């Protein structure tokens, strides 16, 4: 499976894997968010991805993108706070870039780049602002680097997941410059960003879906 392109079944499995990971880590996400946010990130993410799994259950898509656009649309309508539009917009952007029955590594990399662009535009944030971008940007760079060397999807996804987790941990010493956490000023230092943490879960779920743990 590792060298195969992403198809509609794999895309659906990825969303299911994200939902399972969010379910497992819901309390941790909420704990992180209680320190520098509204203490609802875990609950919101669980509700959104659970709804996405339900929405996809009887859905028969023709393209990889259709799975992810439907996921994004569901997230926008069910996730509260800033996470709904950010994650929902990202999945819709990824999906719109994958208008084919299967997606090879380079095409998937380009789609992930479209997802990041969506987040950057909506959130008006940059790397270093202590947001989900601090996990997403290094994940995308690692994925693209692997894709450029001809690596298969699984290898690219593992590199992306590792980079996302490294980026997630790197948010701890940062001072938040965007979002709810920015109101805390220097008091946001020393806390890992919940959005970067959930983003790392998304990329790790992709790596596991593609067959490498």
Q: What is the mean pLDDT of residues 179-196?
A: 91
Q: Which residues contact 197 (CB under 8 A, 6 or more apart)?
A: 25, 28, 29, 32, 135, 168
Domain ranges (residues) in the chain: 6-209
In the chain, alpha helices (H):
8-36, 41-57, 64-78, 83-96, 105-123, 133-148, 153-170, 194-209
pLDDT tens-digit profile of 27-40?
999 999 999 988 99
pTM, rounded to two decimals: 0.96
* 3-state secondary structure at position 103: strand
pLDDT beyond 90 at 7: yes
In this structure, what token pair is assigned to residue 128? Answer: 């270093």
The residue among 2 and 94 whose pLDDT is bigger is 94
Q: Is the CB of residue 42 less than 8 Å from the CB of residue 25?
A: yes
pLDDT beyond 80 at 98: yes
pLDDT tens-digit profile of 106-164?
999 999 999 999 999 999 999 999 999 999 999 999 999 999 999 999 999 999 999 99
| pLDDT at 213 (0 to 100) | 43
pLDDT band at 2, cuts 50/70/90? very low
Q: Is the CB of residue 79 less than 8 Å from the CB of residue 47?
A: yes
pLDDT band at 3, cuts 50/70/90? low
Q: Which CATH number fits domain 6-209: 2.40.10.10, 1.25.40.340, 3.40.50.300, 2.30.40.10?
A: 1.25.40.340
Distances in whole angstroms, Cα of residue 99 to Cα of each of 75, 107, 189, 201: 20, 10, 41, 25
Q: Is the CB of residue 36 less than 8 Å from the CB of residue 9?
A: no
DSSP 182: G
Using the CB atoms, write b or e for 74-101: b if 16+ within 10 Å: bbbebbebbbbbbbbbbbbbbbbbbeee
Q: How far apart are CA 212 and CA 67, in angstroms?
A: 22
The residue among 181 and 52 whose pLDDT is bigger is 52
Mutual orientation of helices 105-123 and 83-96 as an angle, nearest 10°?
150
Q: Which residues contact 70 (CB under 8 A, 6 or more apart)?
A: 52, 55, 56, 59, 61, 95
Q: Is the CB of residue 116 less than 8 Å from the CB of residue 90?
A: yes
């Amino acid at each position: 499976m590792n060298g195969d392109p992403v198809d509609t079944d794999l895309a659906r499995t990825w969303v299911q894997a994200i939902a399972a990971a969010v379910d497992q880590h819901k309390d941790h996400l909420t704990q992180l968010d209680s320190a520098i946010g509204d203490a609802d990130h875990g609950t919101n993410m669980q509700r959104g991805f659970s709804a996405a799994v339900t929405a996809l259950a009887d859905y028969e898509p023709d393209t990889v993108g259709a799975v992810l656009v439907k996921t994004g649309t569901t997230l926008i309508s069910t996730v509260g706070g800033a996470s709904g539009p950010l994650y929902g917009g990202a999945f819709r952007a990824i999906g719109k870039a994958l208008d084919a029955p299967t997606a090879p590594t380079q095409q998937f990399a380009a789609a992930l780049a479209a997802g990041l662009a969506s987040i950057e535009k909506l959130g008006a944030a940059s790397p270093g602002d202590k947001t989900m971008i601090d996990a997403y940007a290094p994940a995308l760079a690692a994925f693209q680097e692997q894709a450029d060397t001809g690596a298969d999807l699984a290898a690219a996804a593992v590199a992306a997941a590792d980079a996302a987790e490294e980026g997630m941990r790197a948010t701890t010493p940062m001072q938040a410059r965007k979002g709810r956490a920015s109101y805390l000023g220097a008091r946001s230092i020393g806390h890992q960003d919940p959005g970067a943490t959930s983003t790392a879960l998304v990329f790790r779920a992709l790596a596991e879906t593609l067959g490498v743990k």
